[in-house]
Amino acid sequence: MNLQYYNPTRMIAREGAVQASADALAALGTRCLVVTGHSSAKLSGALDDVTAVLDKAGIPWQVYDKIGQNPLISVCHQGGAAARAFGADFLIGIGGGSPLDAAKAVAVYAANPELDAAGIYTGWQTPALPFALVGTTAGTGSEVTPYAVLTVDESGQKRSVSGPDLFAAAALGDAKKYTATLSRDFTVSTALDALCHAVESHFSQRADPLSRGFSLPAMELLLPNLEALTTPDVLPDGQGREELYYASILAGLAITQTGTCFCHTMGYVLSEEYGVPHGVACAVFLGEYLAVCEREVEPQVFGDFMDFLGTSMDEITDLVARLVKTELPVLDDGRIEELLDRWDGVSNMRNTPGRFDRDRQREVAKRILQGGSQ
C-alpha cells in the first residue's frame, strides 16, 4: 500500500456560497485583483456577488478581465504586472476553466516579478499569492486541482503547469445561480469535460481507491444528466445544474490524484488548431480510451465500474456520440507523425493503462483524426 493525498482547498458549494464565505475571503489579504474573462463573470452574477462582499469588508479591488479562451501566458504575465501595480496581496478568479487557470498563473507571476512569461514552466521562487476561485461552469474542476493549462504564445500549444501553490485557498460554487445562464452547447461541452476527467482518472495507471472514491460518484451524477441533455432544446433545471457542478468537483478531485490520460493530450490539438471546445475535443477520443481500458485494465475493475453504474462501454460511447455532432478535421499521415513526436514522453500518455506506445497512439489518432466526423 502506498496511499498519499494532498488537497488544501476549502470547498464550499451551495446557494449563497460567496456571501457565506465573506470571512474566508477577507482573511486572504487586504487588496484584491479579480481575474475574469470578458463576460461570464458579469453575466452569471458572480462578479457582483464577489465585489459586494469585498466592498462590505472594506477591501479595495480591481478587475483584470482580459482572459480569453485558452489563455495565453503573455496575458497572464500582464495580469501579474497589473496585480503588482495595484498592490494586490490576493486574487479572486471568476469564470470557467480558462479564467480559473489563468488566475493561478497570475498569482504566480504577481509574486515573482523576475519571472518572464515562459519561466512559469521551469519553476518559480516565491510562492504564488493566495487566491480564491469562483466557478461559473460545471466541467473544469480547476477550482480544486493544482493544475493550470495555458497556451504558449509562440507555438499556440497548450501546456499544463502544476504546483502545490496552485491549489486555491477557497473554491466557491453557487451552481444554481452562476451556471444557470450557460448555453446548451457550453453546458454539454463542459459536462463532457467532467465525464472525461472521471473516466480517464478511474482507469489511469495512477488511480487508487481514494481517487476512485471521487470518480465513481462523479460518473453517477454525470450519466443521467448527460442523457437528459441528449433531448434537443432541453436545459438542466436547478437540481441538474447542481448535480453537474458537484460532478465536476468530484471529477476534479479525482484528477488531482491521477492526472488525465490520452483523451486530454490528443484533444488539445483539436482545440488549438480547429477551435473545438475543450470538453468535446477530449470526448471524441473517449470511446477509443474505453476500448484500451477494456483490453488493459483488470477485468474486475472494468466490470465493477460498468456494473455499479448500470451501463456499458458501448452505452457510454453511444451517449457521447449523441451529444457530439462536431465535424472533425482529417489529418494526413505527416501531420499525425508530427503529433506523435509532440506526444513523446507526455505524462498523460504514460498514465494510460497498458503499453500505450507510439504505435498504439498512431492507431488511435488515425482512427479519430483520419476518420472524418465523430
The candidate with the shortest Cα–Cα distance to 235, out of 226, 246, 247, is 226
Minimum CB separation of residue 251 from Fe ion in Å reads 9
All residues at 6 or more sequence positions from 48 whose CB lies less than 8 Å from its CB, including other chains: 42
- Output 47 or 261, the one with its CB closest to Fe ion: 261
Rg (CA), the chain: 20
Residue closer to Fe ion, measured from CB, 101 or 193:
193
Q: How far is the CB of 40 from Fe ion (least distance, A)?
A: 17
> Measured from the CB atom, is 80 or 279 closer to Fe ion?
279
Residues 329 and 269: beta-carbon distance below 8 Å? no
Compare residues 112 and 271 and give the one whose CB is closer to Fe ion: 271
Min dist CB 193 to Fe ion, Å, is: 4
Minimal CA–CA distance to 92: which of 125, 60, 50, 123? 50
Residue with smaller CB distance to Fe ion, 193 or 243: 193
| CA atoms of 333 and 42, how far apart (whole Å) | 45
| Number of helices and strands in the chain (H, E) | 18, 8
Q: Where are the beta strands (DSSP E) in 122-218?
A: 131-135, 147-151, 158-162, 170-173
User: How many Cβ atoms sit within 10 Å of the Cβ of residue 181?
Assistant: 12
Q: Which is nearer to Fe ion, 80 or 252 (CB)?
A: 252
Residue 325 carries which side chain, given as an amino acid letter?
K
**CB 267 to Fe ion: min, Å:** 8
Binding site for Fe ion (CB under 5 A): 193
Residue 228 grid cell = 437528459
Q: Are strands 131-135 and 170-173 parallel, antiparallel or unpaired?
A: parallel
- Cα distances (Å, whole numbers) of residue 97 to 121, 134, 199, 279: 19, 10, 19, 11
User: What is the number of the residue whose Cβ is closest to Fe ion?
Assistant: 193
CB closer to Fe ion, 165 vs 193: 193
Do 326 and 280 meet the contact criterion of CB atoms below 8 Å apart?
yes
Shortest distance, position 197 Cβ to Fe ion, whole Å: 6
Nearer to Fe ion, 75 or 100 (CB): 100
Q: Which CB atom, from 51 or from 258, has the smaller least distance to Fe ion? A: 258
- Cα→Cα distances 258→17, 203, 250, 254, Å: 28, 9, 13, 6
Least separation in angstroms between residue 264's CB and Fe ion is 6
The DSSP-derived string for 156-177 is --EEEEE-GGGS-SEEEE-HHH
Q: Least distance to Fe ion from the beta carbon of 114, Å?
A: 31
Query: CA–CA separation, 36 vs 21, rounded Å?
Result: 19
Residue with cell 495512477: 206
Minimum CB separation of residue 303 from Fe ion in Å reads 26
The minimum distance between CB 246 and Fe ion, in angstroms, equals 17
H-helix or E-strand containing 190?
helix 184-202
Give min distance, CB of 105 to Fe ion, in A.
16
CB-nearer residue toward Fe ion: 193 or 242: 193
